[in-house]
Amino acid sequence: MAAYTLYGVALSIPAVKVGTALNMTGQSFDYKHVNLRGGEGKTPEYQAISRWGQVPALVHGDVKLVQSDVILEYIGETTGKLWPTDRMERYRAKEWFA
């Protein structure tokens, strides 16, 4: 079992960004497709992971995060990769999120 689980939809650019960041930082992760059109995002089980029923969502131990920008920052901070320690460089990195 991988340390991270990414919930997403293959055509979701935000989910692709998170998967790319996990790959670039060398993190193993499980990917779980969420059938939003089939209503899976509205199930109590999925809303316990993503309170708004959206993708991407990331689970890492007890941590459950949604919104790709937040997830990317978390991956950077927890892995020590792709995330600058300099404050101004962090702002520059966040410009990429938009």
**Residue 74 near residue 65, CB atoms below 8 Å:** yes
Res 94 pLDDT > 70: yes
Mean local confidence (pLDDT), 81-88: 92
What are the DSSP calls for 32-83, one per residue? EE--TTTTGGGSHHHHTTSTT--S-EEEETTEEEESHHHHHHHHHHHHSSS-
Half-sphere exposure of 30 (CA within 13 A, CB side): 9
pLDDT tens digits, 14-49: 999 999 999 999 999 999 999 999 999 999 999 999
Residue with tokens 């809303």: 47
Res 98 pLDDT > 70: no
